[in-house]
């Protein structure tokens, strides 16, 4: 996970900390998410003692809020997913696009609420930045973009599609186990579509980074107040979930539609063992989230 994504993750510190880990590691990752996020950020930017204290306090507050307000609903969504995924003996019930869309929308709504809550705390931390720190942030973003471009934007479309298919296959196999040929073929078809959007997505990433850097410069030079900065940060974070322009909104909706179709097709091509693997993983996450909520009470 590169700096652009890690920055957003570090600032929001969502339950998706566990998305790259096994179920047994979710609680550990979540409980240590403040330290993980701060360590990553401080490896890119030299913070003063005052800044470090402010950032750690803000991150801790975001995590506590998320634990209280978002983990319970996410646990319920995962339990719903478990029921839909589980096989009845050797029989598997078809998964509908409406079911997948409902889970997708629930996650997006959670991200939006978290971004809205985090924005004032992010703004407060950003207002401690100094002009001398701005080049450090830009350097980290430039390095991240070079790595992202090398990994995701390849001159050869065929190789790029293969790499995209491999990444998506790995994600599915974390849930289902080894995929069958029909599932692999569906992912390969999706990857060929995904190649068409990779360059546009990369440019959008650069554009949003530029907006972020403009806000960081204004914050460092005290050219923006906390309320305005918070509003702009919230808008920037939520732009990934709810784009403003008609063209981007259309592209976003189309990409969601194609990806949801992929999920439905792969799940409906799964056998009972694969579906039960996914159901067990959903159950494990739901249980971990419930434990995290309970331990906070």
pLDDT tens for residues 5-18?
433 333 333 333 33
pLDDT at 136 over 50: yes
pLDDT tens for residues 20-69?
334 445 677 788 888 988 898 898 899 999 999 999 999 999 999 999 99
Mean pLDDT for all residues in the chain: 87
Least confident of 8-12, 144-148, 277-281, 290-294: 8-12
Task: Confirm if 136 and 45 have CB atoms less than 8 A apart.
Answer: yes
Confidence of residue 297 (pLDDT cuts 50, 70, 90): low
Q: Which token pair is 245?
A: 């322009």
Q: String of b and e for 96-106 (b: at least 16 CB within 10 Å)?
A: eeebbeebeeb
Q: In which domain, by residue range, is 160 found?
A: 3-295
Mean pLDDT on 143-164: 89
| Residue 93 DSSP class | P
- Angle (CA) 272 275 276, round 5°: 85
At residue 12, the pLDDT reads: 36
Number of domains in the chain: 1
Mean pLDDT on 180-206: 91
Least confident of 51-60, 98-107, 237-246, 286-295: 237-246
152 Cβ contact list (under 8 Å, min separation 6): 160, 163, 164, 198, 202
Task: Confirm if 6 and 40 have CB atoms less than 8 A apart.
Answer: yes
At residue 278, the pLDDT reads: 95
pLDDT tens for residues 204-261?
889 999 999 999 999 999 999 999 999 999 999 898 777 778 888 888 888 889 999 9
Separation of alpha carbons 95 and 103, rounded Å: 12
Mean pLDDT on 151-162: 88
The model's pTM: 0.85
Confidence of residue 270 (pLDDT cuts 50, 70, 90): very high
Task: Confirm if 148 and 2 have CB atoms less than 8 A apart.
Answer: yes
Nearest to 204 by CA among 233, 176, 239: 239
Distances (CA, A) of 188 to 163, 170, 288: 10, 13, 33
pLDDT at 4 over 60: no
Task: Confirm if 1 and 263 have CB atoms less than 8 A apart.
Answer: no
Separation of alpha carbons 18 and 4, rounded Å: 18
Separation of alpha carbons 278 and 82, rounded Å: 8
Separation of alpha carbons 40 and 203, rounded Å: 25
**Chain-centre distance for alpha carbon 9:** 7
């Amino acid at each position: 996970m590169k700096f652009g994504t890690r920055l957003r993750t570090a600032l929001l510190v969502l339950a998706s900390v566990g998305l790259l880990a096994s179920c047994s590691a979710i609680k550990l990752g979540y409980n240590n998410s403040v330290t993980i996020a701060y360590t990553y950020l401080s490896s890119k930017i030299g913070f003063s003692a005052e800044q470090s204290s402010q950032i750690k306090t803000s991150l801790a507050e975001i995590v506590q809020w998320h634990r209280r307000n978002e983990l319970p609903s996410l646990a319920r969504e995962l339990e719903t997913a478990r029921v839909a995924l589980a096989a009845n003996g050797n029989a598997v019930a078809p998964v509908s696009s409406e079911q997948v869309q409902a889970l997708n929308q629930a996650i997006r709504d959670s991200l939006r609420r978290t971004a809205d809550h985090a924005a004032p705390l992010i703004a407060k931390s950003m207002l401690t930045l100094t002009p001398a720190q701005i080049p450090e942030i830009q350097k980290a973003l430039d390095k991240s973009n070079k790595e992202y471009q090398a990994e995701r934007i390849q001159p050869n479309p065929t190789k790029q599609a293969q790499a995209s298919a491999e990444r998506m296959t790995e994600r599915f196999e974390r849930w289902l186990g080894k995929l069958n040929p029909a599932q692999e073929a569906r992912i390969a078809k999706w990857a060929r579509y995904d190649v068409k959007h990779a360059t546009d997505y990369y440019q959008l990433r650069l554009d949003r980074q530029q907006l972020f850097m403009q806000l960081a410069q204004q914050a460092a030079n005290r050219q923006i107040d906390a309320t305005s900065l918070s509003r702009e940060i919230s808008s920037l974070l939520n732009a990934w979930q709810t784009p403003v322009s008609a063209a981007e909104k259309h592209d976003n909706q189309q990409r969601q539609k194609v990806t949801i179709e992929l999920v439905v097709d792969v799940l409906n091509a799964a056998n009972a063992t694969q579906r039960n693997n996914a159901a067990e993983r959903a159950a494990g996450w739901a249980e971990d989230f419930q434990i995290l909520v309970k331990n906070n009470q």
